[in-house]
A = this chain, B = another copy of it.
Amino acid sequence: MSQTVARTRPRTKAAAARKFVYDFEEGNAEMRGLLGGKGAGVAEMTRAGLPVPPGFTITTEACLAYLQKGTFPEGMMEEVRAHLQKLEAAAGRRFGDPKDPLLVSVRSGAAFSMPGMMDTVLNLGLNETTLEGLARTTGDLRFARDAYRRFVQMYGRIVLGIEGELFDEELEAAKRRQGVKTDAELDPPSLEQLASTYRAIIERRTGNPFPEEPWEQLTGAIAAVFSSWNGKRAIAYREYNHIPHTLGTAVNVQAMVFGNMGEDSGTGVAFTRDPSTGERRLYGEYLLNAQGEDVVAGIRTPQPIATLESSLPTVYRQFQEIAERLERHYRDVQDMEFTIERGKLYMLQTRTGKRTAAAAVKIAVDMVDEGLITREEALSRVEPEQVDHLLHRAIDPGAEVKVLAQGLAASPGAATGSAVFDADRAEEMAKKGQRSILVRIETNPDDVHGMIAAEGVLTSRGGRTSHAAVVARGMGKPCVAGCDGIRVDLEKRRFVADGVTVKEGDLITIDGTTGRVIQGSVPMVEAGVSGDLEKLLKMADQVRRLRIFANADTPEDARRAREFGAQGIGLCRTEHMFMQQERLPHVQAMILAQDAAARREALNQLLPFQRDDFLGILEAMQGLPVIIRLIDPPLHEFLPSHDDLLEEVTRLRALKKSGKKLQRAERLLAAVEELREQNPMLGLRGCRLGLLFPEIIEMQVRAIAEAASQLRQRRVRAIPEIMVPLVGHAEELRRSRLVIEATLKQVAKEQGVRFETKIGTMIEVPRAALTAGAIAEHAQFFSFGTNDLTQMTFGVSRDDAEGKFLRRYVDDGILPANPFEHLDPEGVGRLMGLAVQEGRGTRPDLEVGICGEHGGDAQSIAICERLGLDYVSSSPFRVPGARLAAAQARLAESRSKDV
């Protein structure tokens, strides 16, 4: 982007007759390179016919010339003088006029907003003489003296580079002397004395008296703005953000206007539409006979903008008209600052107005109806994340809350309930109709019934892919995970956070959208898909190319996903089904089986459960594809925790207990030890399990095939597809496929039906992407498992890293973003691109999608669109946002192709 801007500046440095100064009327929004962002913005407002206080901009070229030679380029100050004269004429005041002086603001403004550069000097042109004129015209001596005192201070600090503390100390001393507490109470004599002390400081530090002469003030301010381009912090900021040092900054000089010149003056802010609801009406507030500072100081209460109609009807009508013109000009809601000086309205600033998610949707849809913007523009006006938030209950943005701790935003939405510390207790409360929040260090399959019963889940350990997070997201329940700011004491049934002890039964609120843990209950904003959202999403559907699938493991999730507009299930995990309490014993028997026969016996017990699972999901999604992933996690995840067993065995042995209990624990511990791995993520899981124990695959495929066949008999169109996880070598897939196909054939024969079931694979191991051409020979579809692919490509375990170095990495800017939230385009994205290209090279009709967490993230969806994927699959609640993001990605992609 920086390059583009750089190019808009003329290339020849030695242009014969250069123009260094532009009146606001001469510029426009396109001239950012030459006039800087601020200069171009105010020029655009002027161009739009708004009553903007007049002024001019000195170009970035002048700045560069100054920095090169150390002096202003020839002729520049002459131009400034000429433009100043025009400014005097426009403002009807003269610079340095003791009776009614023209005062100006001087601001830096580069092509990019850049902290570290000189900001703003207000009221330039004030001195001991002109302040009297200001006092007269405003009728407010105190205001004039204070304006002068502040100007001297600002000029000293910003333009002359004197440490601000020196001025601050004197200000404190003055208040002590006068015996008052706030700046506002200082009386004119104190302010006069203060200005005089400030000038003395300046003379002492710089060796020169304070420049009382306005022209000299202006010259100094311009030079200071230019020099601030090469300030230490500015250079560091550019280095960090890769902004070229060769751009330079412009200087904006603008007439000051005053809202405190009587009851026909005033100041205020307003939106063209209501930023909370999106309703089309002026929304804002103002104060008569006041300056901006008065609004900030909060001494007087501002009035709603509508009342301006009665107090200053002409101004109000003018303002209404301007507001409408601004909306038309910028084609979006505007957030405006204005000042009325003696009955004359001045627009000081206008910018795109921030709005709530609900307002964003309504405004976008309304503006299409009004013919103000196109459907494509409407789609770009709402962030997909805003859509996500609309679908979850949220804490009222206006509510005051006591935040106890900050954890990971692991599953969105907010919930309030009594803190409980075990799953059974949550269940008991639910039976009594009471709401609870389940608080645990971590969760495991034994806690699932408690998670179902509770309103939300809070854990002190684990990342966004921890058991708690994944299961909560699946259930659509709020979850805050890895909240290391709370110290959980399960035995004493309480936790401590920020010095507060929360005992069982105490009310807490969690906000899974932001990760906050809040004391007590707070007002909420309910969720829902409004008619406007419906309309917007329909527009998105007409534009997007990507299909939107959902990740769902239960019929309820599948139904919800379908209601939200999912066109299929992109990831149906089969192992969460194993975690349910009534099945776990069979799963454990299967794992602990000593031979294939015993394993098969245990699997036979599981078959009916698994078949029922598939029946439900396939029926809910009838007519749409359901991609079912075969078992993926390492087997020890289904067994009790190693540490618990070790503790139990050690305790029993220490107490010299023997007997069945110890034996049982020892046997289980030995089995867990056997399966234990140093790096389970890279261990015996995924298709590796199925290749070692084909019986497991056979059972799962049989369950799928039998379910599909039962539905077929009931004339329900079930479209299961089978996905093999963690393939790294084509041969793994080829052999898995043999087992799957044999089982499908067998069931088809038994049931007397014909199946055509697609078989595909996850691409989640880097090697799979690197050998996608060979793998595609055995796969009808690819689904990128970008969680694991990111972990392996970065060599980063998400659960371990997210609470530790990864947060630091993002905070310190080592990584531009958390790659588990937004797909990494250079590394992971490159592998994906390779896989798409080479997979389709082998099999042109290969279907390619993504089913990692990234499937619901707008930035990632944009990458998927660019790579030509066929679909993205996200959790059900993210489906609506994904529909919008896919449309936006499509539009961006067509634009980039047009260029």
Contacts and interface: CB of A to CB of B under 8 A. Distances in A.
Interface of A: 643, 646-647, 650-651, 653-655, 677-684, 688, 691-692, 726, 728-729, 731-732, 735, 764-767, 770-771, 774, 788, 791-797, 799-801, 804-805, 808-809, 812-815, 824, 826-828, 830-831
A651 B688 CA distance: 38
A804 B692 CA distance: 10
Identify the interface centre among A677, A679, A824: most chain B CB within 10 Å of its CB. A679
Given A726-B795, A796-B728, A830 B650 contact: no
A796 B682 contact: yes
Contact of A800 (B682, B788, B808, B824): B682
Contact of A646 (B646, B683, B828): B646
Nearest to A814: B731
Contacts of A796: 682-683, 728
A805 B692 contact: yes
Contacts of A732: 814
A259 to B, nearest CB: 48
Contact of A728 (B650, B681, B795): B795
A794 B767 contact: yes
A138 to B, nearest CB: 53
Given A643-B646, A650-B651, A799-B678, A814 B735 contact: yes
B677 A797 contact: yes
Contacts of A791: 682
B788 A767 contact: no
Nearest to A653: B651
Contacts of A801: 682-684
A19 B849 CA distance: 56
Contacts of A651: 650-651, 653-654
A816 to B, nearest CB: 9
Given A651-B654, A765-B794, A814 B679 contact: no
A731 B795 CA distance: 15
A731 to B, nearest CB: 5
Contacts of A795: 681-682, 726, 728, 764-767, 788, 792
Contacts of A805: 684, 688, 691-692
A765 B828 CA distance: 12
A234 B697 CA distance: 29
A794 B726 CA distance: 9
Nearest to A688: B805
B647 A800 contact: no
Nearest to A731: B814
A858 B729 CA distance: 23
Contacts of A728: 793-796, 827
5 contacts: A651-B651, A678-B680, A684-B801, A767-B827, A788-B795
A236 to B, nearest CB: 13
A799 to B, nearest CB: 5
Identify the interface centre among A651, A688, A732, A828: most chain B CB within 10 Å of its CB. A688
Nearest to A831: B770
A847 B824 CA distance: 28
A800 B692 CA distance: 15
A682 B684 contact: no
Contact of A650 (B647, B684, B692, B812): B647
A867 to B, nearest CB: 15
Given A678-B680, A678-B681, A827-B728, A793 B767 contact: yes
A808 B679 contact: no
A824 B654 contact: no
A838 B809 CA distance: 25
A733 to B, nearest CB: 10
Given A682-B800, A770-B831, A792-B792, 16 more contacts: A646-B646, A677-B800, A681-B682, A682-B795, A691-B808, A728-B827, A729-B814, A731-B813, A731-B814, A731-B815, A764-B795, A767-B827, A770-B827, A771-B826, A788-B795, A792-B793
A666 to B, nearest CB: 13
Nearest to A727: B795
A63 to B, nearest CB: 29
A212 to B, nearest CB: 47
A679 B647 contact: no
Dominant secondary structure at the A interface: helix
Nearest to A829: B770
A831 B812 CA distance: 29
Identify the interface centre among A735, A771, A814: most chain B CB within 10 Å of its CB. A814
Contacts of A770: 793, 826-827, 830-831
A517 B726 CA distance: 35
Nearest to A735: B814
Nearest to A828: B767
A401 B53 CA distance: 101
A629 to B, nearest CB: 16
Those 9 A-B pairs whose CB atoms lie nearest each other, nearest first: A682-B797, A767-B827, A679-B797, A765-B795, A654-B654, A677-B800, A650-B650, A683-B800, A651-B654
A681 B680 CA distance: 10
A794 B765 CA distance: 6
Contacts of A731: 813-815
A793 B728 CA distance: 8
Nearest to A799: B678
A469 to B, nearest CB: 14
Contacts of A646: 643, 646-647, 650
Contacts of A767: 793-795, 824, 826-828
B766 A793 contact: yes
Contacts of A681: 678-679, 682, 795, 797
Contacts of A765: 793-795
A793 to B, nearest CB: 5
A795 B766 CA distance: 8
A586 B788 CA distance: 37
A771 B828 CA distance: 10
Nearest to A813: B731
Contacts of A680: 678-679, 800
Contacts of A678: 680-681, 797, 799-800
Nearest to A827: B767
A691 B827 contact: no
A691 B814 contact: yes
A766 B827 contact: yes
Contacts of A797: 677-679, 681-683
Nearest to A676: B800
Nearest to A726: B795
A643 B800 CA distance: 19
Nearest to A804: B684
Contacts of A826: 767, 770-771, 774
Nearest to A652: B654
Contacts of A799: 678-679
A421 to B, nearest CB: 20
A766 B682 CA distance: 15
Contacts of A788: 795
A818 to B, nearest CB: 13
A827 B647 CA distance: 43
A827 B731 CA distance: 14
A694 to B, nearest CB: 12
Contacts of A814: 691, 729, 731-732, 735
A531 B679 CA distance: 47
B808 A692 contact: yes
A788 B766 CA distance: 13
Identify the interface centre among A766, A794, A809: most chain B CB within 10 Å of its CB. A766
Contacts of A653: 651
A721 B188 CA distance: 69
A812 B732 CA distance: 11
A745 to B, nearest CB: 19
Contacts of A766: 766, 792-793, 795, 827, 831
